Amino acid sequence: YYCKGRIYAYKINSYGFRGPEFNPEKKKDCLGLVYGGSTTIGIESEYEFTYPRLLEKELLKNNFNCSFLNFGVSSKSLKYIFRRFISEVDFFKPKYVVIYNNRNSAMYDATTNTINSDVVKNKLSLYIFQTGYFLEKNFMSYKFMRKIFLRLRETNFGTPHPTDNSRKINLDYFEKGYFNILDQIYNLASNKNITLILVKQIYYIDKKLQISLSNNSIKENMALLEKYNRFNFKTKYDTDKLEEEEKYNNYFAITNVILNQQFDELKQKYPSIIVVDPLEKFYISEKDETTYDGYHLKEKGNKILADSIAKKILLKEN
């Protein structure tokens, strides 16, 4: 893989994830699945320095032997992870499921309808959902027709775009939809005795602003999200003179905080969920020390993430 003047070695095994071949007949007693986007797959990292691999090594240093499979796929969001998890959980039978996904969800999930809460509670609904996923994955004609349907729906509803007022954002997704998908993932995981680990995502935009937003309630941040494209965070006044970059940064600063806050909300509902918050450790360092562009991780960023997750797992195991 060629990126920014450098070649990175990628090995995608026969199961479609980054890393060595996996033999399900010889899998260890402890297995974890790590879901996320390009930051998880590590598009600018050698395999040994991706955070799922560093997590394995950090746990092993502490005498806890557990394999973590890197299920990252670039530009994929929480709804994609949900579909993957439903189709893969019974085959891999993990002990842990780690999710690190925030920016992609704000970018790609914010227009489609929320998934009904009975998907994982009603067996018939679950079988229908799995059948649709199987058809999409294995039959090109079905996949093609589904894409046409979604495109027509987007044209009618308006695909979200941080700097285009005519392309609407589904505010309900940030208030309820993202939470509801996580709720369903938790219920399915819990029914199968899987520990769910939710990791707050770093996205350097304006550290002072983001820390301030994190001290707001979700309701307060939702009110700001409604006017992200006309609110000046420096003057605290509405305006129609924001630069395009300001609108973009406002959108991702607010949505990053809101989606991270939803982890805490879910933790209150289900105390057995592990929530990992590495943001304070990231903010000690400058953006260029830990990331390439604010969110894709350098070796130091991967290490912070791996160590933060390992600490929570070891605390649980001990």
Q: Over the stretch 27-81, which tens digit does the pLDDT of each residue have? A: 667 999 999 999 999 988 889 999 999 999 999 999 999 999 999 998 889 999 9
Of 318 and 155, more confident: 318
How far apart CA 183 and CA 176 sit, in angstroms, is 10
What phi and psi values does residue 267 have, to the nearest 5 degrees?
Answer: -60, -40
Task: Return the sign of the alpha-carbon dihedral for residues 42, 46, 51, 55.
Answer: positive
Q: What is the mean pLDDT of residues 182-195?
A: 96
Of 64 and 165, more confident: 64
Q: For the ranges 7-16, 25-34, 148-157, which has the lowest average pLDDT?
A: 148-157
Q: What is the mean pLDDT of residues 277-299?
A: 96
Residue 156 has a pLDDT of 47
**Whether residue 162 has pLDDT greater than 70:** no
Q: Over the stretch 240-269, which tens digit does the pLDDT of each residue have? A: 788 888 888 999 999 999 999 999 999 999
Share of the chain above pLDDT 90, in %: 60
Q: For the ranges 18-22, 60-64, 130-134, 276-280, which has the lowest average pLDDT?
A: 130-134
Q: What is the mean pLDDT of residues 6-12?
A: 72
Residue 131 has a pLDDT of 65
**Whether residue 299 has pLDDT greater than 90:** yes
Structure tokens at 91: 């085959």
* End-to-end Cα separation, the chain, in angstroms: 40
How far apart CA 48 and CA 116 sit, in angstroms, is 39
Most confident region among 25-29, 40-44, 167-171, 186-190 by mean pLDDT: 186-190
Residue 118 has a pLDDT of 40
Q: What is the mean pLDDT of residues 218-229?
A: 93
- Residue 15 banded pLDDT, cuts 50, 70, 90: confident
- Residue 205 banded pLDDT, cuts 50, 70, 90: very high
Residue 194 has a pLDDT of 97
- Amino acid identity for residue 203 in this structure: Y
Q: List, in sequence order, the alpha helices (H) in 93-236.
A: 103-108, 123-138, 140-157, 171-172, 178-191, 207-214, 218-225
315 Cβ partners below 8 Å, 6+ apart? Answer: none
Residue 1 has a pLDDT of 55
**Whether residue 218 has pLDDT greater than 50:** yes
- Residue 130 banded pLDDT, cuts 50, 70, 90: low
245 Cβ partners below 8 Å, 6+ apart? Answer: none
Query: What is the pTM assigned to this prediction?
Result: 0.85
